[in-house]
Structures are given as C-alpha cells and as structure tokens.
C-alpha cells in the first residue's frame, strides 16, 4: 500500500491560486477584444451605408442620422461622422469614429494612459 506524502496535499490549490489571475486576465482580454471588434464592425457597416447614401442622394444628404441609426448599439455621444468630397467632386469619403469605452472604466487608462480608444472606419466611393 502506498502512503501519500503529507506535504503535497495543498499543491493543487496553490497551483490553481497562482494560475487563476492569469486565466481571469486572459478571459477579460478576450471578452473586451470581442466587444471592440463588434464596435469596429458596426462602424465599418455605418461608413459603407453612409457612403452609399451619399452616392445615391448626394453628399449633402443626412448621412449622420443614417450612421446613428445603423450604430444604435453604440453610445451616440461618442460617435462622430465626417463626410468629405474631393476637390474634383469625383469621390466622397465617409469617416465614422467612435470613442470606445471598455467594460471596466479604468482598465484602458491603466494600460495606455488614455480613458478611451478611438476606433475609426472610413469608406470612399466614386461619385457619378
């Protein structure tokens, strides 16, 4: 019959306590990254729809309200839309930017020194 070494009884608990913060950080980064990618995907879709509207109705149409309608899940106060037409009036560019706020308010500020992350998507389409 084998006898267990009494000094090894708590090793699994200690190992788990050491690896738990690393696993929690990894989980947080994955969830936060997925949330930021969803915000970027919404911005890309909004800039494309805004450029299509400018193409169909002209660059003076109400692109900002369309962008806000497409990005309903995002905070509209942190959303900025910029529509520019080049000098030859041959193309229109719709740029949508968003000041991304992480789930944990101070997490991004601790890592980067900035309280928010600016996410930008832009689409350029030729005018007829």
pLDDT of 13 reads 85
The answer to whether residue 72 sits within a structural domain is: yes
59-68, 91-100, 109-118, 119-128: least confident range: 109-118
pLDDT of 7 reads 62
Region 72-82: mean pLDDT is: 92
pLDDT of 2 reads 63
pLDDT digits (tens, 9 = 90+) for 107-118: 777 777 777 789
Confidence of residue 12 (pLDDT cuts 50, 70, 90): confident
Has residue 1 got a pLDDT over 60?
no
pLDDT digits (tens, 9 = 90+) for 16-75: 899 999 999 899 889 888 999 999 999 999 999 999 998 888 877 889 999 999 999 999
The answer to whether residue 116 sits within a structural domain is: yes
The answer to whether residue 3 sits within a structural domain is: no
Q: What is the dihedral of CA 49, 52, 53, 56, to 10 degrees?
A: -160
The answer to whether residue 24 sits within a structural domain is: yes
Which residue range forms the structural domain that includes residue 51?
9-126
The answer to whether residue 1 sits within a structural domain is: no
Number of domains into which the chain is organized: 1
The answer to whether residue 2 sits within a structural domain is: no
SS3 84: strand
Has residue 122 got a pLDDT over 90?
yes
The answer to whether residue 119 sits within a structural domain is: yes
């Amino acid at each position: 019959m084998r006898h267990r070494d009494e000094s090894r009884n708590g090793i699994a608990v200690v190992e788990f306590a050491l690896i738990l913060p690393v696993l929690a950080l990894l989980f947080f980064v994955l969830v936060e990254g997925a949330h930021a990618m969803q915000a970027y995907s919404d911005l890309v879709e909004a800039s494309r729809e805004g450029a299509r509207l400018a193409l169909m109705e002209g660059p003076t149409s109400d692109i900002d309200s369309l962008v806000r309608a497409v990005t309903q899940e995002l905070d509209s106060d942190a959303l900025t839309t910029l529509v520019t037409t080049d000098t030859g009036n041959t193309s229109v560019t719709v740029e949508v930017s968003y000041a991304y706020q992480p789930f944990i308010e101070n997490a991004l500020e601790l890592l980067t020194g900035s309280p928010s992350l600016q996410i930008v998507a832009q689409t350029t389409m030729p005018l007829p």
